[in-house]
């Protein structure tokens, strides 16, 4: 039985590293399968380890000071 070690992040289960197949003497024969061995690494990947990104937090947030509201103050005489 051949083995292929696949390392995954234990937190998010994303692929960390896929090792090359460790072939046995029956490698390549008909019906022969490669057993996948999952090895968990003890942290999350870069896109899942940091605190959740907040898309839109910096986008489109402008102070509504009336500057662009178009409502001009009444002109007193
Ligand atoms: Zn094998
Ligand atoms: Zn991940």
In a domain, 57, yes or no: no
Summarised one tens digit per residue, pLDDT across range 14-56 is: 999 999 999 999 999 999 999 999 999 998 999 998 765 555 5
User: How far, rounded to the nearest angstrom, does the alpha carbon of residue 77 sit from its chain's CA centroid?
Assistant: 62
Residue 11 has pLDDT above 80, yes or no: yes
Q: Which ligand is in closest contact with the Cα of 14?
A: 2
Which residue has better confidence, 1 or 58?
Answer: 1
Residue 72 has pLDDT above 80, yes or no: no
User: How far, rounded to the nearest angstrom, does the alpha carbon of residue 73 sit from its chain's CA centroid?
Assistant: 50
pLDDT category of residue 69 using cuts at 50, 70 and 90 = low
CA of 20 to the centre of ligand 1 (A): 13
Domain, as residue range, for 7: 2-45
Q: How many domains does the chain have?
A: 1
CA angle 41, 16, 5 (to 5 degrees): 80
In a domain, 31, yes or no: yes
CA of 13 to the centre of ligand 1 (A): 26
Please compute, for residue 22, the number of CA atoms within 13 A of its CA located in the half-sphere on the CB side.
10
In a domain, 58, yes or no: no
In a domain, 62, yes or no: no
* β strands within the chain, DSSP E: 2-9, 15-18, 34-41
């Amino acid at each position: 039985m051949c083995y292929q070690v696949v390392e995954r992040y234990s937190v998010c289960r994303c692929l960390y590293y896929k090792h090359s197949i460790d072939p046995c003497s029956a490698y390549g024969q008909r019906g022969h399968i490669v057993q996948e061995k999952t090895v968990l690494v003890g942290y999350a990947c870069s896109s899942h380890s940091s605190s959740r990104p907040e898309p839109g937090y910096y986008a489109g947030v402008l102070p509504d000071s009336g500057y662009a509201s178009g409502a001009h103050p009444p002109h007193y005489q």
